[in-house]
Amino acid sequence: MAVEQGAKPIRFAVLKPDHGSPEAIVRAVISEAPIAIEYNGIGYAVMMATPIDLADYAVGFSLSEGLIERPDDILALDVHQSELGWILRIQLPQKNAEKVVARARQRVSESSCGLCGMDNLEEVMRPLPPVTAQIAVADAAIFLALSALRSHQTLNADTGAAHAAAFCAPDGAILMTREDVGRHNALDKLIGALARAGIDISAGFIILTARCSLELVQKTILANCPMLVTISAATDLAIHIAQKAGLRLISLARADSALAAMPQNG
């Protein structure tokens, strides 16, 4: 398998408002590439993502799509770099492959959106199972994790352009982090990495360096994680779906405050 790379050096001219010749610098720039996902030879999706931790991504994406229930449902996985991007060739048992055939569609998603290729409103707003996991997390633990998050964002430290998804113990200790140019990709990578490592996602909570929109809530609910914390604000639909499924949602989480959505009247 070719070596995965999350960033590359690019030369820039630094422009400033005062007079003078621009300064030349070299800066690390985050990698973005098309990732084609195939199941049993059937093209399922093309996602724009950072080509690191792609085995984790393959497992997490498959879990989020409901195509597998556990990592060992995947019989074989080949991560292949081509001239134009990357290809994840995933082999599933016949019973799982039938789901692929039923749902396969040609779709391309930008890194900012995980729902761009959905076929219809019913698929986007599909019913979700209730979150059955419950954990007790003190407010102090949330802020402890937030304060430690930056030190776990190695790719973002180099590029300033990576989202992070971090899995935290109830006491706020960060146990695992994955990064990507796309926030939903980072979450899929984290879900896959936890599943591959045999770590129970229902026993902790997730922090995302992103705004909280529908697809992030959906993925968290489907993973049966009891709490999601996002650095930026949540949408009204994300809040509604989280409350309906029993997901505790914390947004606009900063060093000095955070917003916990309260039940709405009516």
Compute the distance between CA of residue 32 and CA of residue 28 in angstroms, rounded to an integer. Answer: 13
Which DSSP symbol is given to 212? B
Total Cβ atoms within 10 A of residue 15: 7
Compute the distance between CA of residue 96 and CA of residue 68 in angstroms, rounded to an integer. Answer: 7
125 three-class SS: coil
**Per-residue model confidence (pLDDT) at position 129:** 93
Compute the distance between CA of residue 163 and CA of residue 184 in angstroms, rounded to an integer. Answer: 9
Print burial letters for 56-76: b (CB count within 10 Å at least 16), e (below 16): bbbbbbbbbbebbeebebbee
Which structure tokens are listed for 129? 């199972």
pLDDT in tens, 134-177: 999 999 999 999 999 999 999 999 999 999 999 999 999 999 99
Q: How far is CA 207 from the centre of its chain?
A: 10
**Per-residue model confidence (pLDDT) at position 126:** 72
Mean pLDDT by 10 residues, the chain (266 residues): 71 87 92 96 94 98 95 97 96 92 57 49 74 96 98 96 98 98 97 98 97 94 98 96 96 95 72
**Per-residue model confidence (pLDDT) at position 119:** 53
**Per-residue model confidence (pLDDT) at position 120:** 57
**Per-residue model confidence (pLDDT) at position 108:** 41
| Contact (Cβ atoms closer than 8 angstroms) between residue 58 and residue 88 | yes
Active site residues: 113
